[in-house]
Structure 1
Amino acid sequence: MSPTQRRLDPDQVRRYLAASLGPHPGVADCGPLDGGGFAAVWWVTLDDGRAVVLKVGPPPQVPLLRYERDMIGAEARYLRLVAARAPAVPVPPLLHHGHDPVLGDWLLTGLLPGRTLWDLTRAGAEVGPVRAEFGRALATLHGVTGDRYGYDGGRTGASTWRGAYTAMLDDLLADAADWSVPLPVPAARIRELVDRHAHVLDAVRRPALLHFDGWAGNVLAVDGPDGTPRLSGLVDGERHLWGDPLLDLVSPLLFRRAEDEPDDPLVRAYRAVAPFSLDAGARRRLGLYRLHLYLLMTVEMPSRGITAESDPWRVDRLAELLDAELSDLGGP
Structure 2
Amino acid sequence: MSPTQRLLDAELVRRYVAASLGPDAGVTSCAPLTGGGFAAVWSVTLDDGRAVVLKVGPPPEVPLLRYERGLIGAEARYLRLVAARAPAVPVPPLVHHGSDAVLGDWLLTGLLPGRTLHQLTVDGAPVDAVRAGLGAALAALHRVDGDRFGYDGGRAAGTTWREAFTAMVDELLADAVDWAVPLPVPAGRLRHLVHRHADALDVVRRPALLHVDGWAGNVLAVDGPDGVPRLTGLVDGERHLYGDPLLDLVSPLLFRRAEDEPDDAFLRGYRTAGGPLPLDDPGVRRRLGLYRLHLYLLMTVEMPSRGITRENDPARVARLAELLDRELAALAEP
State yes or no: 1:108 paired with 2:115: no
CA distance in structure 1 between the partners assigned to 2:184 and 2:327 by the alignment? 11
Match of 1:318 among 320, 323, 326: 320
Cα distance per residue 1:117-153 (max 9 Å; x no partner): 0000000000001110110010000000011100011
- 1:150 corresponding residue in structure 2: 150
Q: Output aligned runs, 1:259-274, within 5 Å.
A: 259-272=259-272, 273-274=274-275
Amino acid at match of 1:327: A
Structure 2: gaps spanning 5 or more residues = none
Q: Which consecutive segments of 4 or more residues in structure 1 shift more than 2 A?
A: none
Cα distance per residue 1:52-73 (max 9 Å; x no partner): 0000000000000000000000
Amino acid at match of 1:274: G
Q: Could you state the TM-score of these two structures normalised by the residue count of structure 2?
A: 0.98
Cα distance per residue 1:214-252 (max 9 Å; x no partner): 000000001101110011000000000000000000000
Secondary structure at 1:285 match in 2: helix
Cα distance per residue 1:252-309 (max 9 Å; x no partner): 0000001111100110121122223111000000000000000000000000000112
- 1:88 corresponding residue in structure 2: 88
Secondary structure at 1:38 match in 2: coil
CA distance in structure 2 between the partners assigned to 1:6 and 1:35 by the alignment? 15
Amino acid at match of 1:322: L
Percent of pairs with identical residues: 78
Amino acid at match of 1:311: D
State yes or no: 1:131 paired with 2:134: no
Cα distance per residue 1:191-226 (max 9 Å; x no partner): 011111110001111000000000000000011011
Q: Indicate the larger mover: 163-172 or 19-28.
A: 19-28
CA distance in structure 1 between the partners assigned to 2:183 and 2:261 by the alignment? 28
Amino acid at match of 2:277: F
CA distance in structure 2 between the partners assigned to 1:201 and 1:13 by the alignment? 44
- 2:284 corresponding residue in structure 1: 282
How far 1:25 moved relative to its partner?
2.5
How far 1:329 moved relative to its partner?
1.6
Amino acid at match of 2:175: D
- 1:306 corresponding residue in structure 2: 308
Q: Output aligned runs, 1:1-332, within 5 Å.
A: 1-272=1-272, 273-278=274-279, 279-332=281-334
Amino acid at match of 1:316: A
Secondary structure at 1:15 match in 2: helix
Amino acid at match of 2:100: D
CA distance in structure 1 between the partners assigned to 2:183 and 2:298 by the alignment? 11
* CA-based RMSD: 0.7
Cα distance per residue 1:28-78 (max 9 Å; x no partner): 000100000000000001111110000000000000000000000000000
Secondary structure at 2:42 match in 1: strand
Structure 1: gaps spanning 5 or more residues = none
Secondary structure at 1:7 match in 2: coil
